[in-house]
Structure 1
């Protein structure tokens, strides 16, 4: 399995950071038919071929994902899109 591991700095208060992560999760769920659920300060997301999480850390977000075989070839574009959305929201 190929993986994605992105750490992105932010200066938002926890409530606003959580709201922004919720917005990103909503778009992921809608666009890619993903299931999402909060576990403390971690938003887990999953669908066939993808298993990942967005961890809310003080001053940083960390996005990790394991990509199945079929999505490994799309790792570059997927990672670029995640970075673009993080830059836009944070």
Structure 2
């Protein structure tokens, strides 16, 4: 199964980052029929998400979002497109521009 990894640094602090992560979860539930669970920790939270063909986690802390996901066979061929879409969504929620790649 193809792996998806998206990482975004931010300067929101944990409280605001939690709001952003929960907002992303609501959108994922509505738009993509994902099942999301959110667990708060003292210094890091974990958002778990899944649906047929996709499962993963979004780790949230005071300075970074770190998403790892496994894509099933059918979604695997769309890995680059899915990664770009999720990255764009996070960038929009964070009010940032995407990182440049060399």
TM-score, L = length of structure 2: 0.84
Which runs of at least 4 in structure 1 moved beyond 3 Å after TM superposition?
A: none
1:18 partnered with 2:15 = no
2:65 aligned to 38, 61, 64, which one? 61
Whether 1:52 and 2:62 are equivalent positions in the alignment is no
State the SS of the aligned residue for 1:83.
Answer: helix
Partner of 1:3: 3
Q: CA deviation at 1:39?
A: 2.6
Q: Deviations over 1:26-60 (max 9, x none)?
A: 11111110000013310000000001111013311
User: For the pair shown, which has the larger CA radius of gyration, 1 or 2?
Assistant: 2
- Considering only aligned residues, what root-mean-square deviation do their CA atoms show, in Å? 0.9
Correspondence for 1:78 among 82, 96, 102:
82
User: In the alignment, does 2:43 pair up with 1:37?
Assistant: no
**Structure 2 unaligned runs (5+)?**
95-102
TM-score (norm 1): 0.94
Structure 1: which 5+ runs fail to align?
none
